[in-house]
Chain A
Amino acid sequence: MQLVLEKRAERSNTIALVSPLIAIGLTLVTMSILFAILGKNPVSALAAYFIAPLTDSYSLQEIAVKATPLVMIAIGLSLCYLANAWNIGAEGQFLIGAVAGSWLAVKTQGTGAGPWVLPVMLLLGAAAGALYALIPALCKVKFGASEILTSLMLVYVADLFLDYLVRGPWRDPAGFNFPTTAEFDPVATVPILIEGGRLHLGAIIALVVVAAGAVLLGKTIKGFEIRVVGAAPRAARFGGFNSNQLVLLTFAISGALAGMAGIIEVAGPVGHLQPGISPGYGFTAIIVAFLGRLNPVGILIAGLFLALTFIGGEQAQIAMKIPLDVTKVFQGILLFYVLACDSLILYRFRLIFASRQVA
């Protein structure tokens, strides 16, 4: 008897719907076993991860705060990936956006500038992110350089550039020489939505981005072009679509969104520019984009879900004294199962009995 994986004649829509649920189910089973081995009660551990963060407004706000940059970046990345353009450097575009927006905040500090500061900061962030993303896009279009490598390399350039600025010209004069700018003025800060919490305007901007992404992909010709160029490049060429132009466009949009996410993060939860403003959002967003199947609504759900595992992991550390590494194992297992189960959309298991094979 033999178990084989065999290609389906066409993709199974039932499995496409059920596979995330199967994945979550398998994760829960695996994690329960792991918790039991660690000597923790699996039920309360899982409750700490998944239920507790959903039961109070504070944690719900924190989930939204954490998901905001992830979702914004992932929407942009999904456009690139759909068009077969591989932007791996969202982290760098995020940082450059943060730097460009912070420039205005630093320059207007203490000058009593009006409420125009924040909107201009956001625009600067988006513009800088877009321009920065266009570097690898142009290199690809003009010289055929691999955008995967060039966009990734530019992450380190952005990181070190930010580092230089906060250690040198933009350093807080009253900050004992530590690498950070002074706290931004209130006009340069993203407003909080609920008094006493951390939920900020960025969350609403992220929702607008999701909606815009859905309209672009579902209702416009450009969105159609993006999908065709990625899914069937030959057909797209016959259709007269300019794939180079689409590479530039998707990179620019994705860079703009990452850049805006960067300045929102700095002008929001952080409040000043410093090294380490991103715990790898630009890379985590790649996971979010694929977990959400490159679909705007899917990305929103995936971003919130990933944020939930972060917050839940922290609460499990506090409430159950479960080490952080277990949270990482947990996230890893989940992603593994999601991707593994997705293969069932195009493939199916079949049992082959040895007797039939005798020939």
Chain B
Amino acid sequence: MRKILIAATAVMLTAGASMFGASAAEKLKVGFIYLGPVGDFGWTYQHDLARQALVKEFGDKIETTYLENVSEGPDAERSIEQLVRAGNKLIFTTSFGYMDPTLKVAKKYPNVHFEHATGFKRDKNMSIYNGRFYEGRYIQGVIAGKMSKSGVLGYIGSFPIPEVVMGINATILGAQTVNPNIKVKIIWANTWFDPGKEADAAKALLDQGADVIMQHTDSPAAMQIASERGKLAFGQDSEMIKFGPNTQLTSIMDNWAPYYIDRVKAELDGKWTSEDTWGGLKSKMVVMAPYTNMPDDVKKLAMDTEAAIIDGKLLPFKCPVVGQDGKEVECKGGTHLDDGQVLGMNFYVKGIDDKIPGK
């Protein structure tokens, strides 16, 4: 009993202190939950670049805090709640696996605003945001279709979830516009980040005749292997040209800074509302690294494709989209697959000679 009393007093004291603290300093506290260590490339690094951009933009009007290496299991909820309890009023949780924990904490703290990346559950005080990376993958497909001599692409998948499946489909649809007979070999690494596994996968793909490597995993290992063998590859999430100066064709870079700045500004102005944002090349949430190691005509084709997507003239999932079974997929978006169909994508398009694991 005595312990409970002591604990209760302590809670009241800390609660009082934090309320006092919040009113004394008017800094907006912005918190981040990171999946990996910050490092110097990849998914988490890109989120941290955006955090640094916030600090630069808003200076001492805000204070940022992050927790790194937060696993997507039972610990996530606690980590998010720790940020809330430390006085953070706007919290970015930057991986899919934080969706349910974020939702739970959001329900518990209705006055705190949450931003969850790449999920699909929303609430009054929980926005979701994601990038249309498939737009970049379509461009990569066009480039790969042109650059591949063997006509075989090597694709390292992370997990067979819609985000990854849509990327594979977009790549093939892009490649088919320049080489209708393009083939793709897919290896599932079952990890987002494991340089050893990724390197092994790249070697296996090259051994199977692939000569352009792309991946939905985070490390530059695949590019380094392609580089050793004198083949070509794409970067992932970040600019990775330093890992393969003669290898990288381009890289799909995540650019969260404009969005984060928007959201923090809204929060500071008291205008934050729960939103669902899926930004692509047009809003610059997805940015292509310079097109390198390719002839000028391919470079021009890539740039034209990029411009057409930005203008809305080219839709990667334009109807008709034909599935592996040869049947047309229902066209819910009128001229193209609607966002719901893309977000839940669980089929391969015609031309992929493989099967989605677990299906």
Contacts and interface: CB of A to CB of B under 8 A. Distances in A.
A276 B97 contact: yes
Contacts of B96: 178
Contacts of B97: 274, 276
Interface in B60-116: 65-69, 71-75, 77-79, 81-83, 85-86, 96-97, 100, 104, 108
Contact of B8 (A57, A171, A178): A57
A349 interface: no
Contacts of A265: 74
A319 interface: yes
Contacts of A279: 71, 73-75
Contact of B161 (A56, A178, A271): A178
Contacts of A164: 358
A225 B154 CA distance: 59
A272 B359 CA distance: 21
A176 B162 contact: yes
B357 interface: yes
A194 B69 CA distance: 29
B190 interface: yes
A198 interface: yes
A271 B108 CA distance: 16
B67 A167 contact: no
B111 to A, nearest CB: 15
Contacts of A60: 7
B357 A55 contact: no
B10 A56 contact: yes
Interface stretch (A21-29, A70-78, A100-108, A321-329): A321-329
B74 A56 contact: no
Interface in B315-350: 343-346
B14 interface: yes
Given A55-B14, A57-B8, A276-B71, A167 B77 contact: no
Nearest to A323: B68
Contact of A55 (B10, B77, B159): B10
A196 B108 contact: yes
Contact of A167 (B72, B82, B108, B160): B160
Given A164-B358, A167-B357, A56 B7 contact: yes
B11 interface: yes
B74 to A, nearest CB: 4
B82 A318 contact: yes
A319 B66 CA distance: 10
B58 interface: no
A60 B37 CA distance: 27
Given A57-B8, A314-B67, A315-B82, A271 B100 contact: yes
B78 A314 contact: yes
Given A179-B159, A276-B97, A269 B74 contact: yes
A272 B99 CA distance: 13
Contacts of B77: 198, 269
A56 B14 CA distance: 8
Contact of A176 (B68, B159, B344): B344
A58 B14 CA distance: 11
Contacts of B69: 324
A273 B86 CA distance: 30
B67 to A, nearest CB: 5
B100 A276 contact: no
Interface string B155-172: 000011110000000000
Contacts of B37: 324-325
Nearest to A180: B100
Contacts of B7: 56-57, 60
Contact of A314 (B11, B79, B357): B79
A153 interface: no
Contact of A57 (B10, B120, B162, B359): B10
Given A55-B10, A177-B346, A65 B73 contact: no
Interface string A248-287: 0000000000000000010001111010111100000000
14 contacts: A55-B10, A58-B85, A167-B160, A167-B357, A176-B161, A176-B162, A178-B161, A198-B77, A198-B78, A271-B104, A314-B78, A315-B86, A317-B65, A325-B37
Closest 6 CB pairs of A and B: A167-B358, A269-B74, A57-B7, A168-B358, A55-B10, A276-B73
Interface of B: 4, 7-8, 10-11, 14, 31, 37, 65-69, 71-75, 77-79, 81-83, 85-86, 96-97, 100, 104, 108, 120, 159-162, 190, 343-346, 357-359
Given A178-B162, A196-B108, 6 more contacts: A56-B14, A177-B161, A177-B345, A178-B161, A274-B72, A276-B97
